[in-house]
Amino acid sequence: MMFVPDSVLDFHGRDVRNAFDIEQHLAVFLEDCYARGDEMVLVITGKGNRSPKGPVIRPLVAELLKRHKLVASFKQAGYGYGGEGAFEVYFVSDGVL
């Protein structure tokens, strides 16, 4: 199955102040997309190459996606969609909750 995202959330280059901001943005995005009927979305985190202490947003988003009740699965995005700097996210089917 070819990945074509229904919606995109881009954290790359955003001025995100803390983990709480990231968690809130991600939760609202996922819930809105699921309510709209999206099946798969793209979350762009960036690779973290410019962060002095290494990637910050990417590992946090991965952990949040693992725990989110609406996420059936996720994986590193394909090259055309950001590769290591993004995640393909697939939602649970209706009625699975």
pLDDT in tens, 44-80: 998 877 777 777 889 999 999 999 999 999 999 999 9
Which tokens is 59 given? 């590992």
pLDDT of 20 reads: 85
Say if residues 90 and 49 touch (Cβ distance below 8 Å).
no
Express as a percent the part of the chain with pLDDT over 90: 63
List helix spans (H) across 1-97: 19-36, 57-67
Say if residues 91 and 34 touch (Cβ distance below 8 Å).
yes
Which band of pLDDT confidence, cut at 50, 70 and 90, is reported for residue 96?
A: low
